[in-house]
Amino acid sequence: MFKKIGFFILNLSIICFVCHCKSHEVTAGSGRNLLANPGFEEGAKGWFWMDWSKAWIGPFEISDKIAHTGKMSAYLKLDERIDNPKKVRGVVQSLKPDKFPKIASGWYRVEGWHRGVPKQYIQAVVIAWEKYDDYPNYQLRYVLEGVARQPLPIANARYTILTKSAEPETGKWKYFELPIRDDYRKLWKQIPKNYEKINFFCEVRYDDPLPSGGYVGADVYFDDLYVGEGK
């Protein structure tokens, strides 16, 4: 059985758990992984970034310097010194499984963090591309670290805050596990069934204007990502 090693119950009728593991013996998910190249050992194969979005800064990098397992990881870097609308860097994969997956999970590591604005954080997002009321898609957004309250009012998104501390801990791999099927049921009152696709992505971002002379910096790594039924 997959070992649960920690959980938070938030007083928002939201239940989700995040595990901070010191050992590399636990891997992200044990059932069939719907993600291609989940450990980035084949470089960027299977992954992309939102190059069409005005909010995304640019492509992610593949690092051979730091990895949770294997030799590679995805490296997300913020190094922003001029305010502009582009405030997000991340990795994305698009899926269309026959059944909506039960969990999403993985490992991340913060090596550097310079807070330039209050709303600077790390998150994982699931988007079901299926019409819901007047929305073309509806989303789950999980703040992993960086802010202790919902950062943005987004009508077609439901947030879960997985941290009580605004400042990320550096130099340590951390495990997260997200019960996405149950959260769609609880937070949206339905599990997506007729979706065109599902997007899963991990990102580092900031949402406040950058003050004159300010600087936003972050070095965040993701590895051994998983979407599936778990075990």
For 135, residues 6+ apart whose C-beta sits below 8 A from its C-beta are 155, 156
For the chain, domain boundaries: 8-228
Instruction: Please name which of 67, 80, 104 lies closest in space to residue 181, comparing C-alpha atoms.
Output: 104
Task: Tell me the one-letter amino acid at 153.
Answer: P
CATH code linked to domain 8-228: 2.60.120.260
Which H helix or E strand runs over 186? helix 180-188
Tally of CA atoms within 13 A in the half-sphere of 133 that contains its CB? 8
Q: What's this model's pTM, rounded to 2 decimal places?
A: 0.87
Helix (H, G, I), strand (E, B) or coil at 71: coil
pLDDT at residue 164, rounded to an integer: 81
Q: Tokens 């310097």, residue?
A: 65
Q: pLDDT tens-digit profile of 2-58?
A: 333 333 333 333 333 333 333 333 345 567 999 999 999 999 999 999 999 999 999
Cα 171 → chain centroid: 18
Whole-number Cα distances in Å, 227 to 115, 129, 134, 177, 199? 30, 16, 27, 10, 11
List of the chain residues with pLDDT < 70 = 1-30
